[in-house]
């Protein structure tokens, strides 16, 4: 083949080898794949029709590394999801039991002009063959928070700031594919072998470091580690005065990037120092730490801290993004009040005006648009976020929770959360989201595993979303007293006074004794009647919809849904949490003629026409039909 870039085409897809991207044939939005999954697909495509044993694939994808077969199985499962293969379909990959896999789709090779090859840099630096990048390859890299070897907490923030600056800088170097902040900061203060971190994050190299402050001097050590062998590829120490820590941080960031990537072209790595006010930066990092455990108190405190940071530096773009995200999450957890959403949108757009490269600001705009029922706009913003940072677990999980789940695309939601977790496998929040999705999909055993993992990894046990998930697990396993106890802990004082405790207890008694159904319905209706409409939180309303349906009071369930929509529409939103509509428990609710009216009010028809109807449904005109 003539020199130049080339792609493989098969089915409705094209595989751009040079840029390591899987793309639809018509369109330029890359589909989300981990680096190892891309390598697996490439090897399959390069050997079409040939039966490839698992040993052959393991040797090709993980050369000189011992890995379990499960790693390959996970890659094959991910590829099938991304390629759109449903269970029982074998349009692309066929499993030959006990022998291996065969790629069965017809593959066509398309040559492209050699424009990119002519611009490839020439390196005069000698480096080990196993670390040298191919002319067009992007090196998957993880950058860990720098360890604080001093007792001063300010130095701890300086270490986090160093890592964040390096992540943002390396992300602009076209030779690197950098793991996100969410992915790497989950390993902070955890004694984990670098090789294990590299395997979990699917990267080839890890940049780690330490900071020690002695008097008026600060010493920073950084080292680049081979993710497979654990051997140091490069190491350097820097010592500076502490008279201007913002200048020191900026100088060291550039020095480390130059030292590790000087033999690549880094002209695209233009840096803009986020803020010259170190105290503003420390406040921002404090807020991001609180944001990782999103209780109502933590989110409120994070907003207050970020307000202080922005008072010190009104041009601090990342702080504008962070306050937008905190406001948006507070709104999403509190009925999606339009005023809060508008403030969050204002702040996110201001962040993008200051720095258009902030991917996560587009994710916040996606969340806001979804809460307002602007589904296509939400899709557009979240795709923009992924186009800016491909290994972006936040954008993936935002799309899964706030768009795919609400639209009934539960298979897509699960695939996106699983991929997000592959990018950030130590994130307790993502483990919880996986557990919640497994619950919605009717898989309580798997849900329990992920929810327990989230709690074990530090997710707050007393958060309402955790209690809700544990209550559902307890109910499915017949532990009704435990389920009731979990939910009563989430009741507001007003809701408790209106009879919420008695209503919950009555519902769970009916689950163990169906003869109590009528009494349970009456108790739920009494609670609903006594509770002022403005105090019926969306979460409680969704729970009532499910419970009435399980008690076979379908009209009562629809009455709650309509009252909730009326209340939210008066605020200019439609809220979130509508993913419960597509669960197995709500089948009789969906069978009611009133269901079509609810769908119309949710504004999902236009989205479905463009992106497909819910799983196991077809759209005929303006009506949804089970397939």
Predicted confidence (pLDDT) per residue in 13-24, tens digit = 888 887 778 888
| N-terminal to C-terminal alpha carbon distance within the chain | 46
pLDDT of residue 573: 87
Give the pLDDT band of residue 225 (cuts 50, 70, 90).
confident
Do 63 and 36 meet the contact criterion of CB atoms below 8 Å apart?
Answer: no
Q: Within a 13 Å sphere around the CA of 167, how many CA atoms are in the beta-carbon half?
A: 25
The reply to whether the predicted model has a pTM over 0.75 is: no
Same fold, 6-111 and 137-273: no
Q: What would the two tokens of residue 426 be?
A: 């130590």
| Rounded-to-integer distance, Cα 450 and Cα 435, Å | 5
Which CATH number does 137-273 carry?
A: 3.40.50.10610
Residues 6+ apart with CB under 8 A from 289: none
Centroid of chain to Cα 145: 20
- Residue with more model confidence, 188 or 273: 188
Task: Report the CATH architecture of 278-409.
Answer: Alpha Horseshoe (1.25)
In the block, tokens 């006074």 appear at 497
Is the confidence at residue 118, as pLDDT, over 50?
A: no
**Structure confidence at residue 604 (pLDDT):** 93
What gap in Å lies between CA 158 and CA 211, rounded to an integer? 8
What CA–CA distance (Å, rounded) separates 98 from 214? 61
- The residue with greater pLDDT, 226 or 619, is 619
- Hey, what CATH class is 6-111 in? mainly alpha
pLDDT of residue 407: 94
- Cβ atoms of 202 and 140 closer than 8 Å: yes
Identify the pLDDT of residue 336.
Answer: 67
Q: How far is CA 288 from CA 303, 306, 362, 400, 499, in A?
A: 10, 9, 17, 22, 38
Q: What is the 3-state secondary structure (H, E, C) of 432-448?
A: HHHHHHHHHCCCHHHHH
- Grade residue 50 by pLDDT with cuts at 50, 70 and 90: confident
Please name which of 344, 337, 335, 360 lies closest in space to residue 303, comparing C-alpha atoms. 344
CA 164 – CA 288 distance, rounded (Å): 11
Q: Are 143 and 179 in contact (CB under 8 A)?
A: yes
Q: What is the DSSP string of 430-486?
A: HHHHHHHHHHHTT-HHHHHHHHHHHHHTT--TTSHHHHHHHHHHHHHTT-HHHHHHH
Q: Which residue has the tokens 């050369």?
A: 63
Mean pLDDT score of the chain: 81
Distance CA 443, CA 166 (A): 40
Strand-strand pairing, 139-143 and 13-16: unpaired
CA distances from 17 to 7, 284, 495 (A): 6, 39, 58
C-alpha span between 308 and 165 (Å, rounded): 21
Q: Hey, where are the domains in the chain?
A: 6-111, 137-273, 278-409, 536-627
Higher pLDDT, 108 or 264: 108
Q: How far apart are CA 541 and CA 485, in angstroms?
A: 19
Between 196-205, 241-250, 592-601, the lowest mean confidence (pLDDT) is in 241-250
Per-residue pLDDT tens digits for 515-574: 999 999 999 999 988 877 666 788 888 989 999 999 999 999 999 999 999 888 888 888
């Amino acid at each position: 083949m003539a020199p130049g870039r080339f792609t493989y085409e098969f089915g409705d897809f094209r595989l751009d080898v040079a840029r390591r991207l899987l793309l639809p044939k018509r369109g330029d939005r890359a589909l989300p794949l981990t680096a190892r999954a891309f390598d697996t697909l490439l090897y399959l495509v390069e050997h079409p029709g040939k039966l490839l044993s698992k040993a052959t694939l393991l040797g090709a994808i993980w050369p000189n590394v011992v890995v379990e077969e499960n790693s390959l199985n996970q890659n094959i499962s991910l590829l099938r999801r991304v390629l759109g293969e449903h269970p029982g379909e074998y349009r692309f990959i066929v499993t030959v039991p006990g022998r291996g896999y065969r790629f069965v789709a017809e593959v066509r090779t398309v040559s492209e002009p050699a424009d990119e090859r002519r611009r490839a840099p020439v390196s005069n630096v000698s480096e080990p063959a196993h670390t040298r990048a191919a002319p067009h390859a992007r090196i998957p890299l993880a950058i860990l928070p720098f360890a604080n070897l001093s007792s001063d907490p300010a130095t701890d923030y300086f270490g986090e700031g160093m890592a964040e600056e390096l992540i943002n800088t390396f992300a602009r170097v076209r030779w690197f594919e950098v793991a996100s902040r969410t992915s790497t900061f989950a390993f902070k203060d955890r004694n984990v072998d670098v090789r294990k971190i590299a395997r979990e994050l699917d990267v080839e190299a890890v940049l780690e470091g330490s900071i020690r402050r002695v008097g008026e001097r600060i010493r920073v050590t950084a080292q680049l580690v081979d993710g497979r062998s654990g051997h140091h590829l490069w190491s350097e120490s820097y010592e500076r005065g502490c008279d201007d820590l913002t200048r020191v941080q900026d100088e060291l960031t550039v020095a480390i990037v130059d030292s590790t990537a000087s033999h690549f072209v880094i002209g695209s790595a233009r840096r803009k120092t986020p803020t010259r006010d170190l105290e503003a930066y420390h406040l921002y990092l404090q807020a991001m730490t609180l944001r990782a455990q999103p209780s109502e108190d933590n989110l409120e405190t994070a907003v207050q801290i970020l307000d202080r940071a922005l008072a010190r530096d009104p041009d601090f773009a990342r702080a504008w993004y962070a306050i937008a995200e905190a406001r948006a999450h507070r709104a999403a957890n509190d009925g999606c009040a339009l005023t809060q959403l508008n403030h969050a949108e204002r702040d996110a757009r201001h962040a993008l005006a200051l720095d258009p490269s902030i991917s996560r600001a587009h994710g916040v705009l996606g969340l806001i648009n979804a809460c307002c029922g602007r589904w296509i706009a939400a899709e557009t913003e979240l795709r923009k976020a992924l186009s800016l940072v491909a290994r972006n677990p936040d954008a993936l999980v935002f799309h899964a929770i706030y768009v795919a789940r609400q639209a009934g695309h539960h298979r897509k939601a699960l695939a996106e959360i699983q991929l997000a977790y592959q990018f950030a496998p130590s994130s307790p929040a993502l483990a919880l989201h996986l557990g919640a999705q497994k619950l919605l999909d009717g898989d309580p055993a798997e849900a329990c595993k992920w929810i327990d993992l989230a709690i074990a990894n530090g997710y707050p046990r007393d958060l309402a979303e955790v209690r809700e998930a544990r209550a559902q697990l307890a109910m499915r396993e017949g532990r009704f007293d435990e389920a009731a106890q979990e939910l009563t802990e989430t009741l507001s004082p007003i809701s408790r006074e209106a009879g919420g405790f008695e209503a919950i207890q009555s519902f769970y008694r009916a689950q163990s004794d169906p003869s109590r159904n009528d009494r349970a319905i009456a108790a739920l209706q009494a609670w609903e009647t006594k509770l002022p409409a403005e105090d019926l939180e969306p979460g409680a309303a969704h729970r009532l919809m499910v419970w009435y349906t399980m008690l076979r009071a379908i009209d009562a369930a629809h009455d709650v849904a309509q009252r909730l929509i009326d209340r939210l529409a008066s605020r200019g939103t439609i809220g979130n949490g509508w993913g419960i509509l597509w669960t197995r428990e709500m089948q009789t609710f969906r069978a009611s003629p009133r269901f079509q009216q609810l769908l119309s009010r949710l504004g999902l028809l236009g989205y479905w026409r463009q992106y497909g109807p819910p799983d196991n449904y077809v759209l005929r005109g303006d009506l949804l039909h089970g397939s």
